[in-house]
A and B are shown apart, each in its own frame.
Chain A
Amino acid sequence: MSDLLVLRIVTKILMPFILLFALYVQFHGDYGPGGGFQAGVIFGAGFILYGLVYGLDALRGVLSSDILRAGFALGLLIFAGVGVAGLLLGGNYLDYNVLASDPVKGQHLGILLIEFGVGLTVASVMISIFYYFAGRGR
């Protein structure tokens, strides 16, 4: 696709906004439509667009499979870690109320961390799925 100048430039211009929009969906998810899963998909879609236009090898240069593997493990670890932190602080599994001094603050912190973990895992898994699809037979 090296002859498609418009597509390459539009991709370069659009990609930061896609990633920014993903972060908006992630962190505004408490107040509007959105949340970790949707944000992860949009974040992954930004990188998938880059991979489609510039080729899989260029994308692998940006995000190697090792980083993605660490990403989805880390996201799951954050999710489970917040749950276990609730247990250790004297509540139930995934009980956000005990995470901070005040239950409302605890709920805010808990859902933010949980959604961050979900977003990280989903983004990594989406890009990995793209790697497996696009990397068939090479």
Chain B
Amino acid sequence: MFTAAAVGLVVAMALALARALMGPTLYDRILSVNTFGTKTVLILAVVGFLFGRPEFLDIALAYALINFIGTIAVLKFFKYGDLGGTGS
């Protein structure tokens, strides 16, 4: 069952990647990269249980945090063109 879930997640990641490559606007690309990151978190968790190493969940947690911060950084940079301002 974990194998089926992993295969499904890989298909979903391929679709997200296709959207990131084709995406007509910038926000499509950002959204698809964010989705790709979320799917990476899920696949880390699933693969951890698939190979009997549930401590992969730690890595998944770390990835979720970094993914969130990365998305905010990219969005802020494209909206304000500056990472350090308060953006008012």
Contacts and interface: CB of A to CB of B under 8 A. Distances in A.
Where chain B touches its partner, the secondary structure class is: helix
Contacts of A61: none
Classify chain A: how many residues form its interface, as a range.
Answer: 20 to 34
B69 interface: yes
B75 to A, nearest CB: 9
A34 B62 CA distance: 10
A51 B86 CA distance: 9
Contacts of A1: 76, 86-88
Classify chain B: how many residues form its interface, as a range.
Answer: 20 to 34
Contact of B58 (A25, A55, A57): A25
Nearest to A7: B72
Contacts of B52: none
Interface of A: 1-3, 7, 14, 18, 21, 24-25, 28, 32-34, 38, 41-42, 45, 48-49, 51-58, 130, 133-135, 138
